Amino acid sequence: MKRVLALTLGVLLLLGLAGCDGREALRVTPSYTTGKGDVVQGGFSVDLPGQWQDQAVWETQETDVTYALAFYEPNSRDAGYGGWLFSLMAIPEEMDYADFPDAQLVGRLTAEDGFVENLVALYPTDVEFDSENEATYQSLYDQIPDILSTVLPTEGYTYARQ
C-alpha cells in the first residue's frame, strides 16, 4: 500500500510540474563568472513546470560573492511593474542573509572542497504585476514551493534541504 501511495504521489508531482499542457519540466542551472573570468556552473538546479516555459523568464544574477536564478513574469516586467516572482540565491555561509527583507533558507550546498553556501529564496515585498497580468503572475507565484522542492545539487556539490 505504501508503495502504491508513493508511486501515486510521485506521478501527481510530475504531472503538477509538467503543467496542464503535459510538457516535461525544464531543468535550469545558473552559471556565473569567477574572479578569474571563467564561466562555471552553479551548485544547484531546479525544475520549472511546463507553464513556466511560456509564461516566465529567468536569468542568472551575480555579485562578487553570490549568484542567483531570478524569475519574472515577463508581461508585467515589460509593462514596468517589475514582474519579479522570486530569486534562488547561493550565499557564502559566513554572509548574513537576514538583511534581505523577505528571505527563506531553502538548504545548504557544500562543494567538494568543503565550501558551504546557504541557498536562500528571496521574495518581493511589493506589488510586481499590473492588473492585466495579475492572474498569470499569481498562478506562477503559487507554484514556487513546488519548484523549491525540486532543488538538486550539480556535479561536485551535495545539498541538504532545510
Across 2-11, 79-88, 92-101, 145-154, least confident range: 2-11
* 72 CB neighbour count, 10 Å cutoff: 21
Query: pLDDT tier at 139 (50, 70, 90 boundaries)?
Result: very high
CA distance 91 to 46: 17
Q: What is the pLDDT of residues 27-45, one digit of tens each?
A: 999 998 888 888 999 999 9
**DSSP class per residue in 102-116:** SEEEEEEEEETTS-E
Per-residue pLDDT for 18 more than 60? no
CA distance 37 to 34: 5
Q: What Cα–Cα distance (Å) separates residue 11 from each residue in 6, 16, 131?
A: 9, 9, 34
Can you give the pTM of this predicted structure? 0.83
Whole-number pLDDT of residue 24: 86
More confident residue, 11 or 29: 29
Per-residue pLDDT for 117 more than 90? yes
Q: What is the pLDDT of residues 87-113, one digit of tens each?
A: 999 999 999 998 899 999 999 999 999
Q: What Cα–Cα distance (Å) separates residue 70 from each residue in 76, 113, 146, 161?
A: 15, 27, 16, 20
Query: pLDDT tier at 1 (50, 70, 90 boundaries)?
Result: very low
Which residues share a beta bridge with 73? none
More confident residue, 35 or 18: 35
More confident residue, 9 or 118: 118
